[in-house]
Structure 1
Amino acid sequence: MAESKLNVLMCGTGEYTTGWVGSGASTSDKKVGVVGLTCFDLRRLGKIGELAMVGVNGKKYPQIRTHLQEKIADVYKDLDVSFKSYPDDNTVDAEAYKQAIDDRKAGDAVIIFTPDSTHYPIALYAIEKGLHVLVTKPATQLLEHHQHLIDAARAKGVVCFVEHHKRFDPVYSDARARARTLGEFNFYNSWMSQPKLQLETFKAWAGKDSDIRSARHYYLDCGLELTKRSTSYYLNSHHIDIHTWIMEGRGVPTRVVASAAKGIATSDEFGCVPETEDTITLLVDWESVDSDKHRGTAVYTSSWTAPLKAGIHTAQHWYYMGAKGEIAVDQAHRGYDVVYDDTGKASFNPFYMKYSPSETGHFDGQRGYGYVSIEKFIDAARDVNAGKIKASDFDKHGLPTIANTVLTTAILNAGRISLDQKRPVLIKKNGDKYSLE
């Protein structure tokens, strides 16, 4: 069966999808977004057919379309930025995603970049309609929900990936392969932070706007706990996934203890809700699956209250020590610095998304790992639709499928419980399922 173009619904209209943050173009390293730009280019290249976008506030669409026209269509040659939108331009509807998904057919795809607490209900609704799903990290906030998505995707035979783009960073990918040659795991330490200005983008997600209220109503109606967004879910998810990827088939996390710093995000300057933490550290015990003599320790730290003028948008580094060697990776400073008179030194990462046009004037970022992570999902969904492979087969390929990323959610969920209840949390495995105690 020949591969056909994949129809795609982009769920979420914010920074990562469009580069638009309400007050204008984002000031981060995603000034024109990632998802929308990638999908527009993949449509140009013949992999994507119809494109649609759904958000909560349709009144934003006129500004978003103007932004996309000026920042993308007017910059890159032959790039069509049109899309069908939900809800209409005069409507605010927190459940518009349901109509948008209902209008798709089985075998179409949904890419979800929405507040953390909405990932589960949207992804489940799409999967049950027979749609392929790419959901941003964290896949879910609760381990129970993550495992439910695994079961649902397998039952429907659809692709469900988590957008852990760091797996496609060539340095991280190479380091992972080398780490697996270093014998038993001993110690891992990771750091990821973003400047305080990022709080302006995310503080509305702490329970103030309709995006998250819709999710709260869904969770309460179902008798489920709503877990708040935190810097750990947002940032620690990156490097926890890299470590669980390194440890795949070799070790399991068994115990999580969390600690948090507070006071900056909740200050008058930023005005986040009282529960908001600034910096979160998870201390995690790991056990080898091959040796009863070996145990390891991991320390994962994340913060969204870093200084404003550090010259980087995301500070990110990690260190791995095994029985036969060590690896250190600093992906914030890649030997590529630019100095501006007004703002000083800045370190850039063109390996994530390259925004400068090609020599012909076309978009030229197809090799960026932000682009590749989305393209891998599009290719996987098209291959399944064409009958070339079963969706479950991707679990064997080291890709960030919903099944291959379950331990990341287990650690994050355990960390949240540890913070809220001020106690260690155990991770237990029963058959092919995990539980928290």
Structure 2
Amino acid sequence: MDNKLNLLMCGTGEYTTGWTGSGASQSDKKIGVVALTLFDLRRLGKVDKLGMVGVNGSKYPAIRAHLRQNIEQVYKDLDVSFDSFPKETETDSEAYKTAIDKLHPGDAVVIFTPDSTHYAIARHAIERGLHVLVTKPATQLLSHHLDLVDLSRKHNVVCFVEHHKRYDPVYSDARARARTLGEFNFFNAWMSQPKSQLETFRAWAGKDSDISYYLSSHHIDICCWILQDKAVPTRVVASAATGIATSAPYNCVPETEDTITLLVDWQSITSPTHKGTAVYTASWTAPLRSGVHSAQHWYYMGEKGDVNIDQAHRGYDVTVDDTGKTWYNPFYMKYSPSESGHFDGQRGYGYISIEKFVDAARSVNAGTAQPSEFDAHGLPTIRNTVLTTAILNAGRISLDEKRPVGISKEGEKWILH
């Protein structure tokens, strides 16, 4: 295929650029993931024109300087230019509409913005015939997720959710092995990030979203992926710990939970007598110097065996006098240049997740594939990720209304009750 994809990045924050409200990110994404990947895909001839849209245009001079210093001057032949919206003198919460309206059917939009904005941006893009990659959680409401399923089918565009953990080679292999272990019995997942994330996310933490939507979405999706066509969730009960995020020095809004746990009942599709339970826990109040940015592990037990994964400690650690011991994850993004001085992270699952979307959109534009084909490939399409949103939405309702929430299917539609 020689048809290059024009693409708009929605969101200018840490995951896109490595730049946060307080300057360059101090996390494991110091130069971002999205923009860097797309700059490299442009170098490789898959992407053509790039744009970026945020709310506050005054950030762009600092962002451009950051990208030039840390990407353009580090890697050979990597152009970091892009069109930006809104203008540097403007602040506009609806600048995404102006930027999207300048695109043409068959172009693409990548959405890495606060959770509460995903649905509006994705809907605006899909209705204009644009392919969409939206970060997890796709939406906060099940009804919104189902609407995007219908819209993407109506407009015949690719719509993926950026569940990059599906491309982690360990998780992918574990999923294949777990599916051979017979009926599902138990799943337990833990994911956390240090309290410093409350500084990064203070603008929306507790106001627009919670730690379950932000972090548990990773492992809930992995569990749903393992159990696809094997079992379905039927009931969710949520519990939360509080008190750290709302206290000094973080001082988040009173509604902010520290740690959220969802207990989910699962029912086998093939055996009425087989039921399973899953526990998904996420926190953004982990210790500051634990040596990992994201603690992440899960355990799966089926009737014929189990799978146990610790993806925070991969047998690879580095100790430095000033900062102590750190466990690194080179499978996610490799930032060190190649022998020739070029960017060398094409095998990282953060990169692959975006490239898979670009390849899918290009193949549809070239007429060699239909968007619906990707549902059958085990990819995180908008249709294949409905139950992840159902569980997350049910968890939020359970916390807010202090009650269990049921999940069931009426005809072709999943509903909460």
Q: CA deviation at 1:3?
A: 4.1
1:392 aligns with 2:372: yes
CA contact (8 A) 1:161 1:402 kept: yes
Equivalents in 2 of 1:188, 1:398: separation in Å? 20
- What is residue 149 of structure 2 aligned with on the other side? 150
Does the Cα contact within 8 Å between 2:58 and 2:90 map onto a contact in 1?
yes
2:392 maps to which of 396, 412, 417: 412
Matches within 5 A, 1:44-193: 44-193=43-192
Q: Unpaired segments of 5 or more residues in structure 1?
A: 209-227
Does the CA-based 8 Å contact 2:206-2:257 persist in structure 1? Answer: no
Q: Quick check: 1:250 aligned with 2:250? A: no
User: CA separation in 2, counterparts of 1:271 and 1:140?
Assistant: 26
Q: How does 1:331-410 map to 2 (within 5 A)?
A: 331-410=311-390
The answer for the alignment partner of 2:246 in structure 1 is 266
- Compared with structure 1, are the counterparts of its residues 58 and 15 closer, same or farther at alpha carbon in structure 2 (3 Å cutoff)? same
Name the amino acid aligned to 1:303: S
* 3-state SS of paired residue (2:392): helix
Q: By how many angstroms is 1:207 displaced?
A: 7.5
User: Match of 2:274?
Assistant: 294
- Counterparts of 1:436 and 1:197, CA distance in 2: 34
1:432 positional shift: 1.5
Q: How far, CA to CA, are the matches of 1:324 and 1:295 in structure 2?
A: 15
CA distance in 1 between counterparts of 2:230 and 2:206 reads: 39
1:203 Cα offset (Å): 1.2
Q: Percent identical across equivalent pairs?
A: 74
**Cα distance in 2 for residues equivalent to 1:84 and 1:201:** 25
Whole-angstrom CA distance in 1 between matches of 2:155 and 2:173: 34
1:315 maps to 2:295: yes
Q: Deviations over 1:342-393 (max 9, x none)?
A: 1111000010000000000000000000000000000000000000010011
- Report the Cα distance in structure 1 between the residues aligned to 2:186 and 2:25, rounded to whole angstroms: 37
Contact residue 162 and residue 405 of structure 1 kept, 8 A:
yes
- Contact conserved, 1:194 with 1:305, CA < 8 A, in 2? yes
Shift of 1:206: 3.9
The CA distance in 2 between the partners of 1:172 and 1:300, in whole Å, is: 16
Post-superposition Cα deviations, 1:159-204, rounded to whole Å, max 9, x if no partner, equal 0000000000000000000000000000000000000000111110
Q: Is the 8 A contact 1:3 1:385 kept in 2?
A: no
TM-score by length of 1: 0.95
Residues in 1 aligned to 2:273 and 2:234: alpha-carbon distance in whole angstroms = 15
Moved over 3 A (4+): none
CA shift for structure 1 position 295:
0.2
SS of aligned partner of 1:204: coil
User: Whole-Å Cα distance in 1 between the matches of residues 372 and 151 of structure 2?
Assistant: 12
Task: Report the Cα distance in structure 1 between the residues aligned to 2:228 and 2:269, rounded to whole angstroms.
Answer: 10
SS at match of 2:24: coil
Number of the residue aligned with 1:215: none
**What is the letter of the counterpart of residue 183 of structure 1?**
G
TM-fit CA distance, 1:124:
0.2
Task: Give the RMSD, CA atoms, in angstroms.
Answer: 0.8
* Conserved 8 A contact 1:319-1:327: yes
Give the TM-score taking structure 2 as reference length: 0.99
Deviations for 1:25-45, whole angstroms, at most 9, x for unmatched residues? 100000000000000000000
The whole-number CA distance in structure 2 between the counterparts of 1:45 and 1:368 is: 16
Letter in 2 for 1:429: K
DSSP 3-state at the match of 2:247: coil
Opposite residue 97 of structure 1, the aligned amino acid is Y
